[in-house]
Each structure stands twice: as structure tokens, then as C-alpha cells.
Structure 1
């Protein structure tokens, strides 16, 4: 799980190295193409056998893929990797908190909400568009979680996710080809974007599937809290994006809210994959 989380954030930082040449949209396009190629070759979904009842959530999931990655990478370009991933992390946290009526979760929600207000506090250098895009990415991640349940119920294994990644890759064909043909980026920037597809999509997807066979789902959810902290560290080391003290405190508060909420749910032994 640590390898998966680290791969995800290092991949995002690697893709960010190509922003100056092909922009976030170009990086996302190549990332989607690579991720779809890997997932389709691994899962081999039987697309011709999909019914209309199955295609509807798959197409919706493809739209979420496309929107989530573009808004996240554009936010990374504007406000930095650590802050963008922290805001995106509010998506799964919100799903967990809004589906509960426990007092501890209400406290965690208020705690996380206060941290978000601190992160978005008005300053001369505040990039409100970047912050807004991070929140859109969070909403997409929340939708991804909820919609994935429907896709998983209607299609076996990971066929739905692979099909959605293929549709998303096709959606990015026009913009990706236009950028590659008109901007003619150097090969290294294309490789950066391709590495983002492998490290941020293909590897985490496959590794997480393996991990969930032996790791309790509750602990897996708890371990998700490491993503914002890794994003801050990777952004600092690879991109030179050092957060200030207030941002560190706010990010830590959001992570703490998730840890407290998930830990309070872990009652008794939890079977792997439950």
C-alpha cells in the first residue's frame, strides 16, 4: 500500500514536469491513453457483451475519470501538488462523514471544514481558481466512490473500470492529438506524461487489488490518509513546492480528521476484503 501511494504521488509530480511543454490537458490525455492500454490488457473486458444497463454507469464513470484528472492536474499546476491532493482527499472523507450520524464524525467534519477554510483564507497570492478546481476534483472522487459501487454490482471483476478508462482515453483523443501536433513537444515530456499514466493509474490500481486480498478494508481506508502527506513531501522534493507552517497545520488537521473517523469505525476483527 505504501508503494502504491508513493507511486501515485511520484507519478503526479513526474507528470507535472511536462506542464510547461504540453500543459495539464496534454499530460492528462497521455496519462489516460497509457492507463487505458494497461488496464484493458490486464482485465480484457468483453465490451460487446455489455448491456445498456451496464453501459450507463460505465459512461458516467468515464466522465468522472476525465473531469477528475483534468481538474486535479490543473490544480496541481496552479496551487501545487500537496495542496491540490489534500483538497481532492476531501472527496472520500466527505462520503464517509456524510453517510454517518455519529457524533464523532460530526466533530471530524467540523474539524476538516475549519482546516479547509484556513487553506482557502484570502491572501494576495491566493489562487481561487486553483482551489476551486481542487474542490471539483474532490467532488469527482466522491462521485467515483459512489458510482463504482454501481459499476461493481453490474459488471464482474474490474471490467467496468477498464471500460471506463478506455472511454475516457477516447474522449481525450482530439485534445491530445491537437496538442501533440501543434506543439511538437520533446520526447522527454511525452515520457513524463506516460510515466504519470503508469505510476498514478496502472500501478496503484493493480497493487491495490492485490493488497485488498490480504489487508482488511478498514485498515486500507485508514491508510488512505497517507496520500496528502506523501503529496506534500513529493511536491517539496521533486517540484520545490514547500508549504508554509499554516498549510502544514491545515493539511495535518484534514488527515487527522480522517484517521479519527476511520479508526472509530474499526470495531472488532475485520476480515480481509470485507
Structure 2
């Protein structure tokens, strides 16, 4: 048996993939927020997951009979987190600027990074990013308390998503796990969205196109990139890389929604970007994490964690 860890190539490409994920996600948030005059955040969250699930199921065509119990537990848990995270974040940006809401959502992965840190430089980078996050959050006395609570809830869900998405990525050799998780989340959230805002969708059918665009930008592209990244780096490094989210969110909010930043907010964002760059520069350079072998319903052996072990 040999030990397998993140590779130099994986570490190098991770910032590019995370930046693409963040930009796509924030663009989707801006598109969603711009449609709030016609449809509620909950309805858009439901459309986001439903369209994502439909597209993924058609493209991936997962073989449900081959999914074993351990895999089912992981994808159901991820699907429930998808539903909660979508509602919490979409509700948060209805009360807050996208840059502030994405900062609050970042607190969950950042705290996860701090908990998982075992080296002083990683802990220092996470704490520096957290300082910037808190500075950004407290930069205005007019922030909505409800929005802050929703943003913190989204952050908690985001931390759970980081762990569960990595687990699903290791339990499935392809995109089947992500497709099934989307379907689980859609089954939970779509009925709620239909009941709460069916009239608005009927009155403004064009929001369905918006929902499809949000699904592509905010779910399919970023979540797929997340799974690729989490097969290359650990959750600690991933959590600190996500500190780029407030910068991207603030930039997208400014360009698309004309949400302006103060000097203090800009300085806070600079802190989290600096922490991200520092974390990446101090990441280990070792061998890559392989994808797991396909698992069928007839397999009797337990699935091993490929981050720690692989067959020679």
C-alpha cells in the first residue's frame, strides 16, 4: 500500500478551476437577483436545482440499481444540503449585496479550513482571510439582521457541501453521484417552490429561461468544477481558496447590479485574496489523488478512501 496525496499539477491548476467556479457562481447569483421583481428567491432556487437535475440526468444517465447503500447515504445527504444551501443563499442576496452575502457564506468553509489545519502557515492564512471576512461584514451598520442570519446558514451548508461533495466524488468514478444529488435536492425543493410561487411563474413565463441560465451558471458549472478540484486538493486548501468569492461577488455585483463598495470593503476583500494566494503558495507538492474504481451493487468489499490508500 502507498500513500497518495495532492499533486504539484493538481495544486497548480486548482486556483484556476476555483476562480472559474466562483465567477460562474456569482454571475448566476446576479442573474437570479435581477429577476427578484418577478419571482421569489425560493422559486428561483427550486428552478435552479430542478433544471440542473434534469440536465445532469439526461447527460449522465446514472444506473440507480448499481448504487450501493453507502453511496446512497452520501448523495442523499448532499442533495439535502443542496436544497438548504440554495434557499438560504438566494434569500440572503435578496437582503444583502452579493459581495457581503458571499462573504458570509464563505465563513463556513473558512472555519472548516481552520479546524482541519495542522500547519502554522495554513492556520495563519485562514485566520487572515477570516479577518478580512469579518471586516467586510461589519463595514456597514445598515446590514439586514435576517440577511446576515441567512448568509451564516448558507455558510454552514457550504461547509457541509464541501465535505459531502468530496465524499461523493470519491465514491463515484463519474458524475453519477452529482446527478443523483441534484435530483434529490430538486425533489425536496421543487414542490415547495411550486406551491409558494406558481402564480408568478405563470404570469411571467420568461423567468423559466432565467431559471435555466441560473442553473447552468450557479449549479452545473461550479459544482462540477468543485468535484474536479476536490479530487486534486484537500478540503482545507479548498476552503481557503474560496476566499476569492467576496472579490468575485463584489466585482459581479458592481458590474451587473451596480452595487458599489466602500474603501473599507475593498481593503477587506484584499485581505482574503492575499490569504488565498498565501495558502496556495504553501500547499504541498506531492502525488495526485486517483479517481476510485467503478463500484457496482454486487460488490461486497467496502470502498476505501483514495486520499489515503491505493492499490500498488
Q: TM-score, normalised by structure 2?
A: 0.76
For residues 30-81 of structure 1, the C-alpha deviation after alignment (integer angstroms, 9 at most, x for no partner) is 1111111111122221123323332222111111101111111111111111
Q: In the alignment, which residue of structure 2 is the partner of 1:260? A: 278
Structure 1 residues 53 and 107 mapped into 2: Cα distance closer, same or farther (>3 Å)?
Answer: closer
CA drift of 1:272 comes to: 8.5
Is 2:24 aligned against 1:7?
A: yes
Q: In the alignment, which residue of structure 2 is the partner of 1:203? A: 221
Mapping of 1:7-26 within 5 angstroms?
7-26=24-43
CA drift of 1:105 comes to: 2.7
Aligned residues of 2:132 and 2:269 also touching (Cα < 8 A): yes
CA drift of 1:124 comes to: 4.1
Q: TM-score, normalised by structure 1?
A: 0.85
Is 2:217 aligned against 1:186?
A: no
Q: In the alignment, which residue of structure 1 is the partner of 2:145? A: 128
Is 2:66 aligned against 1:49?
A: yes
CA drift of 1:258 comes to: 2.6
Structure 1 residues 49 and 135 mapped into 2: Cα distance closer, same or farther (>3 Å)?
Answer: same
CA distance in 1: counterparts of 2:164 and 2:255, whole angstroms? 35
Q: Secondary structure at the match of 2:250?
A: helix
Mapping of 1:1-274 within 5 angstroms?
1=17, 3-121=20-138, 124-183=141-200, 184-206=202-224, 217=233, 221=238, 224-266=242-284, 268=285, 271=288
- Identify unmatched segments of 5+ residues in structure 2: 1-16, 291-306, 308-312
CA distance in 1: counterparts of 2:135 and 2:142, whole angstroms? 14
After superposition, the CA RMSD in angstroms is 2.8
For residues 208-267 of structure 1, the C-alpha deviation after alignment (integer angstroms, 9 at most, x for no partner) is 667899xx648x94865543322111111111111212122222222322321232124x
Q: Which has the higher Rg, Structure 1 or Structure 2?
A: 2
CA drift of 1:163 comes to: 0.6
- Identify unmatched segments of 5+ residues in structure 1: none
CA drift of 1:271 comes to: 5.0
The more displaced of 86-95 and 200-209 is 200-209
Q: Secondary structure at the match of 1:22?
A: coil
The more displaced of 64-73 and 127-136 is 127-136
Aligned residues of 1:119 and 1:247 also touching (Cα < 8 A): yes
Aligned residues of 2:109 and 2:242 also touching (Cα < 8 A): no
CA drift of 1:140 comes to: 1.2
Structure 1 residues 271 and 58 mapped into 2: Cα distance closer, same or farther (>3 Å)?
Answer: closer
Structure 1 residues 264 and 245 mapped into 2: Cα distance closer, same or farther (>3 Å)?
Answer: same
CA distance in 1: counterparts of 2:168 and 2:47, whole angstroms? 25
CA drift of 1:190 comes to: 2.5
- Number of equivalent positions: 270
CA drift of 1:164 comes to: 0.9
Structure whose residues are more often helix by fraction: 1
Q: Secondary structure at the match of 1:101?
A: coil
